[in-house]
Amino acid sequence: MPKSRAAIFVCWIALAAPGALVRAQSPAPSPAAALLAHDLLHQIDDAYVSVFEKVAPAVVVIEADKKPASDGQDQNFDFYFHSPESGEGNHAPAPEPSVRSEGSGFIIRPDGYIYTNYHVIEDAEKIEVRLRDNRRFVARVVGADEHTDIAVLKIDATNLPVLTLLDSDSVRVGQMCFAIGIPYNLDFSFCRGIVSGKGRGELASTPANFLYEDYIQTDAFINPGNSGGPLFDIDGRVMGMNTLINGLGRGLSFAIPSNMLSDVGGSLIATGRAPHPWLGVQVMSLRDQLDDDPSGAERYSGLESGVCIKTIEANAPAYKSDLRPKDVVTRVDGVSVLTAHDLQREILRKKVGQSVDLSVWRDGKTFDIPIVTDEMPADLTQVAEAHARAKFRPGDNGSYGLQFHPSAQTQTVRDKINAEALVIAVLPDSPAGRAGVRVGDIVTAVDQKAVTDSASCLELLAAHRGASGPMLSINRNGQKARALLDTGGSEKQ
């Protein structure tokens, strides 16, 4: 054994022998080091106090008088502050019946413009704003956008303290953040945390709403009453607006990013409304598509990721383009998209009327399709229903959840548009219901084969063969639409 290795071996034996191990003694800190550590703690302490004193004067308490719900409870409570599990500590206490609710907000212009959440002031008959110096003002709603949960209020005041918005794209996961709000009516409560994640989505969709979600996640202890308050950095710059939590005490809180606040809030101040761009398609990620329908793996062979087009709405921007059901979008203006949320985020960043280039995969070939965005329609009932990932009901007899009007009773329809397959019922848990087919639609073709009456339509549906469901051509109130009847869930953009 070489001498060097032998020496190491003997040394190891000596250390391992009984009584050979001696506890390492940390040297006592010198007075200078102790003083330095104490000074550092003072600096951290002063920094926390300083950022609170800088931000708090621009944070406001919002008191909204609303009509009481039929059950006497705040209908927004469970949605924005919910927990998916039951059990002690995992659910929000039911609020006492009351017509007055409280939330938070913050001033963004010295002449009295305030950002808050839409759900804080929704359906309010009267809104009052209280400043930290206890001054009170009656506020009016300048504009509100339920799809982003952003609202702008105005009070008649001048020379008010304001907060500035930073570029939320520059926010880093792991950086420190703070929040001020009024949890449980405890005014101007201050809490600290870190940024736990960015770009969070698919958190808050409900049957009655369709939200653009691109949240900043934090472990700062946000509670009911913090809604509409700021999430900010160590310099007091707003990175987001607190909007919801996922279960009390779970360390899962979410904020609307400041860039979305700036875009939507600026539009609300300028025009009172916030138009959103859309393509008019129902989509789902390729991964989810294959999970729901593994038999489609051969059709998408060679494609690793993307967003599948399920349905194209009537007269929507996508319908006016060369986009087709079964296409897979892989990029938007050169940016890769892997999920429905990715596609939504990229389209939301565009302006209404702006042209976007979609990189599309179809039958093994990739090409670009330009689409000019349009403004999202106000009625999104069908969009919200598309979020319900219902499964196909067994025993549907090959109709895919559709029921048609008897041919003999559609003479008026036939005379007007030369088609008789009038939809009179759609099962919500069926491929047709999930694809967005509506009562009143008229099916004019199945798999590009013309429909002459209800019976022929059912025959074509029953005769369909393939890994995916049939593709319908539809006349909807005089406008053409397409729908792909597959068994998987979908989301709309």
**Residues that are catalytic:** 119, 149, 227
Distance between CA atoms of 465 and 452, rounded to whole angstroms? Answer: 20
Q: Cβ of 101: how many Cβ atoms within 10 Å?
A: 22
Sort strands 176-181 and 189-200 into parallel, antiparallel or unpaired: antiparallel
Distance between CA atoms of 273 and 12, rounded to whole angstroms? Answer: 76
Amino acid at 86: S
Distance between CA atoms of 153 and 121, rounded to whole angstroms? Answer: 9
CA angle 444, 293, 330 (to 5 degrees): 80
Host H or E run for residue 61: strand 59-66
- Closest to 211 (Cα-Cα) out of 149, 258, 147: 147
The label of the residue with tokens 């848990």 reads 429
Tokens of 472: 């319908």
The DSSP 8-state label assigned to residue 97 in this structure reads P
Distance between CA atoms of 199 and 216, rounded to whole angstroms? Answer: 6
Distances (CA, A) of 13 to 7, 69, 465: 10, 78, 76
Q: Which residues contact 411 (CB under 8 A, 6 or more apart)?
A: none
- Closest to 114 (Cα-Cα) out of 125, 106, 104, 123: 106
Cβ-contact 154, 270 below 8 angstroms: no
Helix/strand/coil for 242: strand
Backbone angles phi, psi at 477, to 5 degrees: 55, 40
Amino acid at 253: S
Host H or E run for residue 460: helix 454-463
Helix/strand/coil for 231: strand
Distance between CA atoms of 89 and 249, rounded to whole angstroms? Answer: 7
